[in-house]
């Protein structure tokens, strides 16, 4: 279990870094100052996990790891001084977001299972952990959240979380389940980005005339 704990810790730092970068890239598109960069990066990195922890009735996990907040701030400042070198910032933003989505979908579900949540609740909390930070980022920055766009986004997070939960319930190696769930979430999201996949959208139909 010590090996699994180290793996989860590394993934948590990696996911936080990926989401911090995506948040800072949005801040660069909005031409914010350094404080704005840090705030948006932190919102993206910690928003989903904070919502999960509140629903699980525990203190936000990142508050007990000051190094995470420092890393997020340093990455935000690094983007502030280097984002101008990227000609198309939206593309790396999407891929950084995809990495964070895949990692946090499984980490969120894993944390929920550890707290005794049901499988369905674990999948839901995994999806929320993966998507709510980005949603808060986009709302604060005045953009339509990715989760509401015509893209396969939350679906990829839910699929990764569901695979992890299913493999865990079947008694498979926890580390393997973590890696499989993350890979599934990332590959689904990556395929959607590469091929412009989306779920069917609602098509309005003419209203009916009803007699008085």
**Contact assessment for residue 100 and residue 47, using Cβ atoms and an 8 Å cutoff:** no
Tell me the residue range of the domain where 77 lies. 2-195
CA distances from 187 to 31, 32, 95, 155 (A): 31, 32, 11, 12
Q: Is residue 145 part of a domain?
A: yes
Please list the pLDDT of the chain residue by residue as tens digits (212 residues): 667 889 999 999 999 999 999 999 999 999 999 999 999 999 999 999 999 999 999 999 999 999 999 999 999 999 999 988 875 777 888 899 999 999 999 999 999 999 999 999 999 999 999 999 999 999 999 998 888 888 899 999 999 999 999 999 999 999 999 999 999 999 999 999 999 898 888 887 776 666 65
Sign of CA dihedral 141, 144, 149, 153: positive
What global pTM score does this model have?
0.90
- Residue at 207 is within a domain: no
Q: What is the 3-state secondary structure (H, E, C) of 50-70?
A: HHHHHHCCCCCHHHHCHHHHH
Q: Give domain status of residue 201, yes or no.
A: no
183 belongs to a structural domain = yes
What span, in angstroms and rounded, lies between the C-alpha atoms of 20 and 129?
A: 14
- Domain annotation covers residue 134: yes
Determine, yes or no, domain membership for 203: no
Domain presence at residue 143: yes
Asked whether residue 205 is domain-assigned, the answer is no
What is the number of domains present in the chain? 1
């Amino acid at each position: 279990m010590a090996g699994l704990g180290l793996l989860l810790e590394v993934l948590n730092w990696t996911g936080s870094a990926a989401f911090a970068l995506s948040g800072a890239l949005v801040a660069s598109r909005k031409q914010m100052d350094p404080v704005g960069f840090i705030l948006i990066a932190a919102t993206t990195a910690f928003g989903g996990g904070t919502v999960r922890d509140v629903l699980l009735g525990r203190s936000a996990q990142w508050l007990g790891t000051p190094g995470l907040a420092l890393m997020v701030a340093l990455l935000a400042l690094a983007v502030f001084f280097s984002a101008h070198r990227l000609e198309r910032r939206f593309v790396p933003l999407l891929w950084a977001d995809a990495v964070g989505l895949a990692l946090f979908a499984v980490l969120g579900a894993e944390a929920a299972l550890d707290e005794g949540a049901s499988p369905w609740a674990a999948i839901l909390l995994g999806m929320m952990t993966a998507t709510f930070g980005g949603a808060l980022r986009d709302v604060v920055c005045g953009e339509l959240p990715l989760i509401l766009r015509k893209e396969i986004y939350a679906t990829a997070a839910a699929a990764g979380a569901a695979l992890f939960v299913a493999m865990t319930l079947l008694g498979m190696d926890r580390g393997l389940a973590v890696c499989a769930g993350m890979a599934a979430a990332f590959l689904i999201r990556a395929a959607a980005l590469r091929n412009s996949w989306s779920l069917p959208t609602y098509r309005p139909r003419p209203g009916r005339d009803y007699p008085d």
